[in-house]
């Protein structure tokens, strides 16, 4: 319900000409109309056409969405070389790692293109064009439609527009709603699927500081990795083939070694995932009291169990490194977000805005008739929380907790076919879909660890969720096993064919429905997903009322402040933000500098520690002050710096550019004091944390000796 309908809202800013440069995720195609004048005043020397153009090469052609927007990357050579964050390439680095070739621990550098490593599931998408198609959609939608009717009609219209836009090309077209379904835009993309790993520093650099430093400043993390786009010989996207060639981009970024000074202009382009800055006080309270506490509680237990396993061997550490990072990232984020929301008084500010809105509505009968029920609809949707609590625990403890039940559920289509006496070809096809993933799944899977996670998280679910939302197997655990989830899950994993890869391989040699009917893990997976559907049905009962309330509230706010400029919330489409380099004061008596140096990296060293170990070669280069041409004018090697650009998840890996459009850094994090930023931007303390491009180049050159990569780049001294 609420989580599915988090408002696609937009952030109010002051009048044009007085726009605060650090706030706003702007659509690049609209900066000529909305932003370029202010950007030039702040220090940008580019024209709007230099940044976004559909007729000529521009900055937009050097920025790609990785994996459909999970991260951003930028082109830095005319041979398709991509630069992004280390954590954006973490999965691929981990997948290619083994005890004999531990690229997480030791780093990886391809000295030739033949050594670059393929990644079948990785993609890079370019924005080709952008178009406002509101007039093709809005006239055929009306307020009398139900949500289902409106959604069906929109999908019908959007499909026709997308089909026409793509035509007979290989492009992908996507219509997305912005401004809470008040506007609709068509985005056309070109997606490449042969993306090869080129280079990555060791984890001791790329993830320096680990969980301790995550979301914190000051930082010294060398958070980057490198990939290359390959294509067919015709320059078009193609599946991986040894015959593919490096992609020749329309545009690639030049790199500046000049650095930056305080108050220098800084611009970020990327694909931010989502923000919900017009979420009401009711939604904020739900996030603080339900969503975040449950996520923190469940993930803390899961991370504890995974960490115990990772300590047992180098192989175990490699196996679960990516899973641990993925879970811990938003575990800590949730802690920081709650603290930020409380410390910055966001809930009270939301209530004040809602009071202002209510007074404005009640001052006019026509407004009252149109918008009067908005906040009542929203507040009523948050009153009954048993189903909401159940949904949050279901998501965290059952679906994102143990891995085996999601995997087992993939055999459900096969089970249906086996029961219906379908032809053997259909059985073989359904079997193959699961068999194809066996090696990949079991390569990084430990049944004993997953069993411990199941036992611990099932117990948390039982203790915190209303009984009507307990899956049926909970009764068996209580009556037959004395409520001992550890004993129950050990037996479960021992008896199931899903308990080992060998058992599954044997099953697929002659798959039969009755084997799955008797399999305890398969049957439990069915129970979990049935309960998820039941809970989803409960939470969806107020969906239409909540959606209507959100729509009216945001629409009313726009009318109430009609003399102000609004921009859409993030939704994984390309955005531009602009601001300045600068320091900040997080609390009384504390002031942070806007940059860090390699000296701070050395000062944080804890020899042998997973988070703060320092490579011997780095220490040697530091002691010799061997920084080459990458030293700042002050003689030090800068590692990271802060700007006030407006970013969020999905911006990881985004290029940070100076006023000339030259690359000066890579965005990789936000600051702890402003973790509330996805819900409410704080101008005074919200910071974008970036790795200095000179630290990146120094690592490639001095640490790795990968001169072949340096030679590809266009570097401005």
Residues with a catalytic annotation lie at 87, 223, 652
Give, in order, the Cα–Cα distances in Å from 293 to each of 323, 359, 392, 401: 21, 34, 10, 16
Tokens read off for 350:
């939301």
Instruction: Report how far residue 339's alpha carbon sits from residue 335's, in angstroms, rounded to the nearest whole number.
Output: 6
Burial tier of 399 (Cβ tally within 10 Å: 0-12, 13-18, 19+) = middle
DSSP 115: G
DSSP 711: H
Tokens read off for 308:
């115990």
Handedness of CA 627, 633, 637, 640 (dihedral sign): negative
* Angle at alpha carbon of residue 214, lines to 209 and 217, rounded to 5°: 85
DSSP 62: G
Please check whether residue 549 is in contact with residue 376, taking contact to mean a CB–CB distance below 8 angstroms. yes
**711: Cα within 13 Å, side-chain hemisphere:** 6
Please check whether residue 57 is in contact with residue 78, taking contact to mean a CB–CB distance below 8 angstroms. no
3-state secondary structure of 66: strand
Instruction: Report how far residue 102's alpha carbon sits from residue 96's, in angstroms, rounded to the nearest whole number.
Output: 8
Backbone φ and ψ of 112, nearest 5°:
-135, 165
DSSP 610: T
Q: Which residue has the tokens 């860090």?
A: 596
Tokens read off for 263:
């108050």
Instruction: Report how far residue 416's alpha carbon sits from residue 401's, in angstroms, rounded to the nearest whole number.
Output: 26
Burial tier of 458 (Cβ tally within 10 Å: 0-12, 13-18, 19+) = buried
CA proximity to 307, closest of 320, 294, 289, 322? 320
Instruction: Report how far residue 480's alpha carbon sits from residue 707's, in angstroms, rounded to the nearest whole number.
Output: 65
3-state secondary structure of 579: strand
Q: Which residues of 315-345 are buried (b: 16+ CB within 10 A; e: fewer)?
A: ebbbbbbbbbbebbbebbbbbbbbebbeebe
Backbone φ and ψ of 497, nearest 5°:
-70, -20
Please check whether residue 195 is in contact with residue 229, taking contact to mean a CB–CB distance below 8 angstroms. yes
Based on DSSP, count helices (H) and strands (E) in the chain, helices before strands: 31, 24
Instruction: Report how far residue 677's alpha carbon sits from residue 666's, in angstroms, rounded to the nearest whole number.
Output: 19
CA 405 to chain centre: 24
Instruction: Report how far residue 368's alpha carbon sits from residue 359's, in angstroms, rounded to the nearest whole number.
Output: 10
Label residue 148 left, alpha or beta by phi (over 0 means left) and psi (-120 to 50 means alpha). alpha
């Amino acid at each position: 319900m609420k989580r599915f309908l988090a408002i696609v809202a937009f952030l109010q800013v002051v009048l044009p000409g007085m726009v605060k440069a650090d706030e706003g995720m702007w659509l690049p195609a609209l900066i000529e109309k909305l932003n370029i004048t202010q950007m030039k005043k702040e220090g940008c020397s580019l024209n709007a056409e230099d940044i976004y153009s559909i007729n000529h090469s521009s900055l937009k052609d050097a920025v790609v969405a990785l994996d459909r927007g999970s991260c951003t990357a930028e082109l830095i050579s005319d041979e398709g070389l991509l630069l992004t964050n280390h954590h954006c390439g973490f999965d691929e680095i981990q997948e290619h790692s083994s005890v004999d070739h531990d690229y997480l621990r030791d780093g990886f550098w391809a000295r030739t293109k033949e050594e670059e490593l393929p990644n079948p599931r990785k993609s890079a998408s370019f924005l080709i064009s952008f178009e406002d198609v509101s007039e093709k959609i809005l006239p055929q939608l009306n307020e009398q439609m139900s949500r289902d009717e409106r959604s069906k009609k929109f999908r019908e219209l959007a499909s026709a527009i997308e089909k026409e836009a793509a035509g007979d090309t290989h492009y992908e077209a996507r219509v997305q709603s912005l401004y809470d379904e008040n506007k609709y835009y068509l985005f056309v993309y070109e997606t490449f699927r042969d993306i090869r790993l080129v280079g990555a520093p060791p984890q001791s650099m790329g993830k320096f500081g680990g969980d301790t430093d995550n979301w914190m400043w000051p930082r010294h993390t060398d958070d980057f990795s490198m990939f290359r786009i390959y294509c067919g010989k015709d320059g078009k996207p193609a599946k991986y083939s040894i015959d593919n060639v490096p992609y020749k981009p329309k545009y690639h970024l030049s790199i500046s070694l000049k650095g930056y000074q305080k108050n220098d202009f800084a611009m970020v382009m990327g694909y931010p995932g989502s923000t919900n800055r017009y979420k009401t006080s009711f939604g904020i309270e739900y996030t603080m009291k339900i969503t975040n506490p449950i996520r923190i509680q469940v993930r803390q237990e899961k991370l504890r169990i995974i960490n115990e396993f990772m300590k047992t061997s180098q192989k175990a550490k490699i196996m679960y490194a990516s899973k641990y990072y993925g879970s811990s990232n938003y575990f800590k984020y949730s802690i920081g977000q709650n603290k930020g929301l409380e410390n910055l008084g966001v809930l009270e500010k939301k209530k004040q805005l809602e009071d202002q809105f209510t007074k404005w509505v009640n001052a006019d009968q026509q407004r009252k008739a149109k918008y009067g029920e908005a906040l009542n609809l929203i507040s009523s949707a948050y009153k009954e929380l048993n189903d909401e609590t159940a949904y949050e625990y279901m998501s965290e403890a059952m679906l994102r907790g143990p891995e085996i039940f999601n995997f087992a559920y993939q055999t459900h289509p096969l089970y249906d076919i086996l029961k219906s006496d379908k032809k053997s070809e259909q059985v073989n096809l359904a079997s193959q879909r699961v068999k194809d993933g066996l090696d990949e799944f079991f390569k990084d899977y430990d049944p004993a660890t997953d069993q411990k996670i199941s036992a611990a998280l099932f117990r948390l679910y039982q203790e915190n969720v209303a009984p009507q939302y307990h899956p049926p197997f909970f009764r068996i655990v209580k009556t037959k096993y004395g409520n001992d989830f550890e004993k129950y899950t050990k037996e479960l994993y021992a008896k199931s064919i899903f308990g080992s890869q060998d058992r599954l391989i044997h099953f697929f040699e002659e798959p039969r429905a009755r084997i799955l009917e008797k399999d305890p893990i398969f049957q439990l997976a069915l129970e979990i997903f049935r309960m998820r559907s039941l809970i989803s049905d409960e939470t969806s009962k107020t969906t239409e009322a909540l959606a209507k309330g959100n729509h009216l509230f945001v629409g009313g706010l726009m009318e109430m402040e009609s003399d102000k400029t609004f921009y859409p919330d993030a939704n994984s489409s390309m955005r531009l933000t602009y601001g300045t380099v600068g320091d900040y004061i997080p609390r009384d008596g504390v002031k942070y500098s806007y940059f860090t140096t390699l000296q701070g990296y050395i000062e944080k060293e804890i020899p042998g520690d997973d988070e703060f170990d320092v490579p011997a070669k780095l220490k040697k280069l530091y002691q010799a002050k061997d920084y080459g041409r990458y030293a700042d004018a002050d003689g030090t090697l800068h590692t990271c710096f802060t700007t006030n650009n407006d970013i969020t998840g999905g911006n990881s890996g985004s290029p940070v550019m100076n006023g000339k459009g030259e690359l000066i850094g890579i965005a990789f994090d936000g600051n702890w004091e402003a973790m509330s930023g996805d819900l409410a931007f704080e101008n005074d303390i919200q910071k974008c944390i970036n790795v200095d491009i000179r630290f990146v180049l120094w690592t490639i050159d001095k640490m790795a000796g990968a001169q072949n990569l340096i030679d590809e780049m266009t570097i401005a001294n």
